[in-house]
Every structure is written in structure tokens, then in C-alpha cells.
Chain A
């Protein structure tokens, strides 16, 4: 009986919890009602720390399980959950922003703030999804992009206010450490309300499980049911975010466990998922307690559960219906003479580069640099500008290749997981060695990126692997990287700061050699991509057509992944994981009317160069004389515009 696993894991969780309590129970267990004044020190630890912690693990798991189950049912998407849809990251960003910028608002309670952030993130993801028929993989990619943006923005705020760093980082990791019964009572109330809501929604949701059209013809108000279920799921996730922080992927795992145990109908999933989630998180927390022993907590439990996300997504991959992403039905423009426009862009980038080298800002205004100051600035400024421009071009090229390969307009270098792998390599080296040199760190990032790339390549090499697999495998690797990073950050101290700084991207440390290498790589990879232009023209039509025309599909896919991975990796390693240029530039190029494969590649590349030149200028000037992180500035510039573009419904 598979179902026996539930009571068994409950016994395991209780056993681990009791074992962890051993150091303090020498004098027996304290009995409620507790009066702190009359309790011994050990009893206080038990009554206000260990006992509420055991219960809160169950509660948080149940809340997240219920939230994930609601989202999966209402979106008909087996990989939806508060983490994959960016809800938790949105709540986290709101809380970080308020903590840093307006701490007095915290007096109103954390829940409304978390709820606001969660709703905002979900609104964006749902908006992007609604324009694309809620296509499962597309929704998760949108959620991941929102989460990436939210966490990089939160990182920027944290960077700006160093003194809050440690508590925020620990909170981000989802620590279950308790110092009283308050949060427990709040979460009991949340679970009570959520449980009633879910029970009321169970029957409408099982009708909605068919399809929106069918449900509507059965007399269901689809918009209301959808809205209420999503709102409820959002509220449950926000209450967890507000009390214990980010506990990743329990909402994804719990319904999957429920289904694996035989839950089939929506109502069954809705009551089994919270139980599975509660037990999963309790066992995880028990393990964290056991590993930590009496020596204090090393890793927050929420970050540990994050580690299951990547493998879980890969396991769920074959269960997804392999549907191609719904097409754009709005006709994007098509330029009559693309070559002319390409020349204009190329000349404009060179002119802009020249101007940015020559113009400087002085405390009392702008000036053209004279010969002496030019000679002074050039060795520093030229590598930086060329490096930033080349990185932008490389990321844009990578994005254009990936969007054509997968025929999904949301594919981007971030989704490839290479940046995540590089970040893991960088962070890993930083923590494992005492005083790593810059060269060692670069090597670490290179190895990490290469490993991630190899993993992704293996995923697309499988039999009959569809391009969709590539996207989800990339999301899996990226989420694994994010969890490992938050684990490392929670364990470290000043090293966390170095990682944060690297993650937000900077070209200021670039040497002449580095910049030259990036520029050479940009030229080389652009030429290589142009040689493969015919493949890139045919691949968007899908593997069937490509195979029928005699293209070696597997070889072509691997070649494209390697090309895109190399471009992303090189840019990431030297300038940090810059966000969104790779997603934005190909979109802009397409909107400018570059429709044919080679025009699209060249156009994207040039636009990427221009975007990064502009971002570098902005990053240097916005808070003159201090530099802002380049990658961060680029995402802050690009993300709102990009979201507007993606939210636009097809005509």
C-alpha cells in the first residue's frame, strides 16, 4: 500500500523532532499552560522554541501544499506552485523593499505587504499567461523571469543597505526557528480560513478541471472561480512568506506526492496535498535539526527544500502534455529593406561608443574630454565599454538563437541555466577557498557554467526530446542554482556580500584582454550563427518539418545549445549574470521588423550592443560619481518595458 507512506513519514518526522529535543528534555517536558517565569531554561527552549517549531513545520507545509494544489488545479498545470509562478519571490521583494525603505510600515503587519507583493507578481504572470492560453511551460518561464527580476531587485536593495544584510538573507532562506507561539497561531488561522475556502471551491474546481469552455457551458462562472482560487492560493503563500520567509517548492512537491499516492480527482488532491506537504516539510526540518545537532542551525529549512525543486521539475517533465506554445496571432511588422536598418544600427553603435568614450561628467556639468584626460581615462573606460557592449551582443545573440530553436518567445539565456551554473561555480569557489584570486573565481564560474551546459545538453539529447524539454530543464537548473546560492548565502557572512555584488553584474573590473576576448568571441559566434542561418530559419517550424527537410535535428539542437551556452557563459563570467538583455533584444528586433533568421540574429545582436552601452552609461551617471551595478541597471531599465510587451494580448 502506497498510502502507508503517510503514517510512516509522520512517525519519522516525530522521531526526528523528538531526537532533536533530547538535549533539553532531561528534566521532563513542560506542560501547558506555560508561564515563562516559572520554567527552567531548558523548558523555555522547549516550550517557546522547539515545540512551536515542530507545529509550524506542519502548518507551513500544509499551507504551501494547499496553495500549490489550488494553483495546479485552477491552471491545469502540474508544475505550478508559489515558487515556480514567482509568487513567493514577489512577496519577498515587497517585504525586503518595505524593510529597507519604509520600516515604519512594518507596524501594520507583514501579511498585507507580503500579500501585495505576491498579488503583483501573480498578476503579471497571469497576464502573460492569459495572452498565451495559460500554456504550462510558458507560465513557469514567465514566473521564473518575474522571480529573477524580484530577487535581483531585492539584492539591489540589500546591497544599498548593507546593515540589514544578514537578517534579510536568513529570512530569505526560510528559517523555521521559532521564539514564541504568535506565528503558529497566525498560521493556524490562515490554514483554517484556507481549508474552508478550498472545501467550498472543491466542486467548482473539479468542473473547471475540464476546460474553461466546457466549464462555462456547464453553467460555471469561470472568471469568478478562477479568481477566487488564485486569490486564495496567493493569500496562503503570502501568509507563509510573511511569517517564515521563502520555503521553496513544497507547493510543487505536495500535489505531485498526492497524485503519486493515487489522488486523482481535484477534491482528493486538495485534501491530500496539505497532508503530504506538512509531512514533507516536517521530515525536511527534522533532518535539518538532526544535521545541525546542538551546534545551532547551519541551513534554513526553506533553502533545503529548494534543493528538491530542480530534480522534481525534471521528474515531472514527461507528465506535461507536449503542446507547442500558442502562436502570436498579432502580425508583427516585416521590414522591406532590413539590410539598410542593420547598417543604421551598426553605425549608430559605433558612434555611440565613440561619444561615450569622449564625453565625461564633471561635478558641475558635462564636458568633452581633452586629449590629456582622454589619455588618462581611455585605458579604463574603453575596455569597460567594449566589454559591456560585447556582453550585450552575446546575450542578445544567445536569446535570438534560443527563441528560434524553441519557437517560444519567452526563451532567454536565463532559462538556459548557464548563468545559474556559473553563479554556483563562483559562489562555491568563494566559500571553499580561503582567499581566491580573480582568475580562480573566473575559472570556477567557467566550470560551473560548463557543467550546467553539459547537463542541459544531455537533457535535449534524449530520444524524441522536444525543444520544450530544453526550456524546462533550464528552469530546473536555474532553480537548483538559486537554492544552492541561498544556502551558501545563509551560511556565510562577508562572502555573501561578494556574491551579491557579482550577481548584480559589473564591467568595471574588466581588463583590456578580457574585453578584447569578449569582442572577438562576439564576432566569432555571430559569424558561426550566420553560417547556421538556414537551420535557424527552419527550426522554428518544429522538429517534424526540420527532420523531413533532412536537417540532422539532434546535431542542430546541440549545436545551437552549445552556441547559445558559450555566448551566455562568456558574457556571464566576465560581466556577471546580466539579466533581460538576452530576452529583450530579440523581441525588439522582431518588433523593428527583422523577420528572416539572419536579419533577426544580426538585428538582435546590434540591439543588445546598444542596450548595454546605454545601460553602462546610465549605471555610471544615475548616481554620479558612484557606479551602480551594470546588470542590475539593465534589468531595471528593461523589465517594465518587457512586461508591457508580454502582457499585450494578441490582436
Chain B
């Protein structure tokens, strides 16, 4: 198993609060890793630190064996794509144009877009099932479609690691499954590493290969979904009494008692 991220003694504080406290963690490459935890446990903060959106108060993060601050901005963006939790409004942009913005790390501010850029955009639009919507405006799409349009931008970026911050929190259940199926497929078909912050425990257990659970700014557990889905672990992560049931196909689902 190769390592995607190696995190040592990571601490992040804001005035008056410690959001992440001395986190040690190693995230595997080529898998879908789910980040879960209660509200305020530091999930989004950890993801922003991994995306280099914010800089840690202390501690180190190595991405593909190289310390994160040492990465050149565009070189990093070719390997690492990040989707924030609250999507900005893409006023006036077409779906294809939004996807094309993902090519910025490759051609830069002045480089001429070549055929490989065009291919990457087409492939991204197709991968997200947006062929029929490529010439629609992003601000006229439904929530699920817009989420997929943003994913298309990340895919066109051709990074081998995607960081997604609660990509399904604003979607209804059908679109949640649709987006997570896409995420799962993106990882398993082409070996991308994906780290996704999820609120829904059962969705995390169903679609992720690896789980990292945070509690109060520290790592509470990491392992497979099966390791996670037992009442003792869940009690220690959420501090709530949970019952784990088994579905017909044997996959576990958790429910509060």
C-alpha cells in the first residue's frame, strides 16, 4: 500500500480554540477515504490543510513524499484537486467552460490550450454524464447537475488525488447516491485517490474503502468500514448509543438508539 499523505504532529489553532490537536495520520493512495466525525470535530479543517488552503499552526504534511509547502502551486494543482463545501456561483459560465477552467494548472495563464486539453475536457464532461448539458449555463442547473459540473472541473484537472468537502450535503437522496457512485467509479476505474468529508455515516460505510474518524480534533479511529460499524466504535466517536443492523446483502447500517 503506497502512502498518499503522511501527516505528523499536525496542529491547527484559531484564537481561543484548538481545531486540530497533534494529529498523526497516514492516508493510503488509490482509495476512497471517508473523513467522518461529529460537528466541529475538525473534518473540514483537516481537508483544507490537506488542500493547502490554510497553513498549519505546527506539524508537517507530506504529499507523495514531498512536504506540502515545498510544492509549486501549479505542479501541486496537477496532482491535487479540491472542491470546497460551499460552491461559488459560476455566473454566466457554461458547463464546458467550467470544466475548461480545470485545465489552468496545465496551460497556465498564457499557454495555448492544445488537443490534450480538449480531450481532457471532453472526457471529464462524459465521465460526469453531462454530455447533453455541456452547453447549458451552470447557474441554470439543478443542485445535483451543478455538483457534477464542478466534479467535471476537478476531473478535467487530471489530478490523481481529489479532496471533496461534503459534496452531497445539499443534495436529495437520489442525487447523493448518484454523486457518490460517480466518486466511487472515479477511484476504482482509474486508481485516483479520493478523500471525501461525509456527514452521513451509512453513506461513508457504503462508498468508502477507508475511514478516518475525528473526534474533538484528534483521530478517533481509522480502518475499514467494517471496523467502523460496530456499536463500541460508534459510541466512542459520536458519544451516542448506536445500533448496527445488517441489510439483506450483509452490508451494515447504523442507527441511533
Is B208 part of the contact surface with A, judged by Cβ < 8 Å? no
Interface centre among A407, A545, A552 (most CB of B within 10 A): A545
Instruction: Assess whether B109 is in contact with A532, with CB atoms less than 8 Å apart.
Output: yes
Interface size (A, Cβ < 8 Å)? 28
Cβ distance A337 to chain B, nearest Cβ, rounded Å: 14
Contact present for A538 and B139 (CB under 8 Å): no
Task: Give Cα distance in the complex from A544 to B139, angstroms.
Answer: 19
With a cutoff of 8 Å between Cβ atoms, the chain B residues found around residue A590 in the complex are: 92
Is A549 an interface residue, CB under 8 A from the partner?
A: yes
Tell me how many residues of B have a C-beta within 8 Å of chain A. 33
A551 interface hit (Cβ, 8 Å): yes
Q: Does B73 contact A (CB under 8 A)?
A: yes
B52 sits at the interface (CB 8 A): yes
0/1 interface trace, chain B 79-93, chain A, CB 8 Å (1 if under): 011111000111111
Known: A334-B137, A531-B110. A552 touches B73 (CB 8 A): yes
Q: A544-B84, A545-B84 are in contact. Are A595 and B92 (CB under 8 A)?
A: yes
- Least Cβ distance of B193 to chain A in Å? 16
- Which single member of B52, B53, B93, B104 contacts A534 (CB below 8 Å)? B104
Chain A residues positioned under 8 Å from B82 (CB to CB)? 544, 548
The smallest beta-carbon distance between A387 and chain B, in angstroms, is 32
10 shortest A-B CB distances, which residue pairs? Answer: A550-B77, A595-B92, A327-B89, A550-B74, A548-B82, A550-B105, A542-B88, A544-B84, A550-B73, A541-B88
Within 8 A of B (CB), among A315-364: 324, 327-328, 331-332, 334
Given contacts A547-B53, A549-B102, contact A324 B88 (CB under 8 A): yes
The residues of B with any CB-CB pair to A shorter than 8 Å are 51-54, 73-78, 80-84, 88-93, 97, 101-102, 104-105, 108-110, 137, 139-140, 157
With A541-B88, A544-B88, A545-B88 given, name 20 new contacts (CB 8 A).
Answer: A327-B139, A331-B140, A332-B91, A334-B137, A407-B88, A532-B109, A534-B108, A534-B109, A547-B53, A548-B82, A548-B83, A549-B101, A549-B102, A549-B157, A550-B105, A590-B92, A595-B91, A595-B92, A595-B93, A596-B92
Q: For chain A residues 397-454, which have a beta carbon within 8 Å of chain B?
A: 407
* Cα–Cα, bound, A377→B154 (Å): 60
Say yes or no: is A464 at the interface (Cβ < 8 Å to chain B): yes
Q: What are the interface flags for A505-545 relative to B under an 8 Å C-beta threshold, 1 for contact and 0 otherwise? A: 00000000000000000000000000110110110111011
Check A551 against B104 for contact (C-beta < 8 Å). Answer: yes
Residues from chain A with Cβ under 8 Å of B91 in the complex: 327-328, 332, 540, 595
- Within A464-504, the residues touching B (CB, 8 Å) are 464
* Contacting residues, chain B, for A538 (C-beta < 8 A): 101, 104
Q: In the complex, what distance in Å separates the CA atom of A590 from the CA atom of B93? A: 12
| Cα distance A625–B245 in the bound complex, in angstroms | 90
6 A-B residue pairs with CB within 8 Å: A332-B92, A537-B97, A544-B84, A550-B77, A590-B92, A596-B97
- Chain A, residue nearest B73 (CB): A550
Question: Which residue of A332, A531, A541 has the most chain B CB atoms within 10 A of its CB atom?
Answer: A541
Residue of B nearest to A533 (CB): B109
CB atoms of A551 and B137 under 8 A apart: no
In whole angstroms, what is the CA distance A537 to B107 when docked? 14
Report Cα–Cα, A614/B30, bound state, in Å: 62
Q: How many A-B residue pairs have CB under 8 A?
A: 75
Q: Chain A contacts of B157 at CB under 8 A?
A: 549
Question: Which of B80, B104, B105 has the most C-beta atoms of chain A within 10 angstroms of its own C-beta?
Answer: B104
The complex places the Cα of A324 from the Cα of B3 at a distance, in Å, of: 36
B100: nearest chain-A partner, CB-CB: A537
State the Cβ distance, B4 to closest chain A Cβ, in Å.
17
Which residues of A (567-599) have their CB < 8 Å from a CB of B? 590, 595-596
Q: Tell me which residues across on chain B come within 8 A of A535, comparing CB atoms.
A: 109
A547-B104 contact given A327-B89, A596-B97, CB 8 Å threshold: no
Among residues of A, the one whose C-beta sits closest to the C-beta of B55 is A463
Residues of A within 8 A of B84 (CB): 542, 544-545, 548
For residue A595, which residues in chain B have a CB less than 8 angstroms away from its CB? 91-93
Give the nearest-CB partner of A463 in chain B.
B55
Chain A min CB distance to B9 (Å): 22
CB B119 to nearest CB in A, in angstroms, measures 19
C-alpha gap A547/B105 in the complex (Å): 11
Tell me the smallest distance from the CB of B176 to a CB of chain A, in Å.
22
Cα distance A69–B97 in the bound complex, in angstroms = 46
Q: Which residues from A are CB-within-8-Å of B109? A: 531-532, 534-535
CA distance A332 to B90 in the complex (A): 12
A327 to B146 Cα, complex, angstroms: 15
List the A side residues contacting B101 at CB < 8 Å: 537-538, 541, 549
Find out whether the CB atom of B52 lies under 8 angstroms from the CB atom of A547: yes
Q: A464-B54, A534-B109, A596-B97 are in contact. Are A334 and B92 (CB under 8 A)?
A: yes
A540 in contact with B73 given A548-B53, A550-B104 (CB within 8 Å): no
**A544 (CB) vs chain B CBs: closest residue:** B84
- Chain B neighbourhood of A532, CB < 8 A: 109
**Which residue of chain A has its CB nearest to the CB of B71?**
A550
| Residue in B88, B104, B137 whose CB lies within 8 Å of A549 | B104
Bound: A531/B110 CA distance, A: 7
Give Cα distance in the complex from A324 to B75, angstroms.
29
Residue of B with least CB distance to A532 = B109
A531 to B112, CA, bound (A): 12
**A residues within 8 A CB of B74?**
550
How distant is B101 from chain A, measured CB to nearest CB, in Å?
6
State whether B137 touches A331 (Cβ < 8 A). yes
The closest CB in chain B to the CB of A334 belongs to B92
Query: Do B53 and A541 touch across chains, with their CB atoms under 8 A apart?
Result: no
Cβ–Cβ < 8 Å partners of A548 in chain B: 51, 53, 77, 80-84
Query: Chain B contacts of A328 at CB under 8 A?
Result: 89, 91
A-side contacts of B137, CB under 8 Å: 331, 334
CB-CB under 8 A from A550, the residues of chain B are: 73-78, 104-105
Closest to A542 in B: B88
- Residues of B contacting A334 with CB < 8 Å? 92, 137
Report the separation of the CA atoms of residues A583 and B175 in the bound assembly, to the nearest whole angstrom: 40
List A residues 595-628 near B (Cβ within 8 Å). 595-596
Which residue on chain A has the smallest CB distance to residue B86? A324
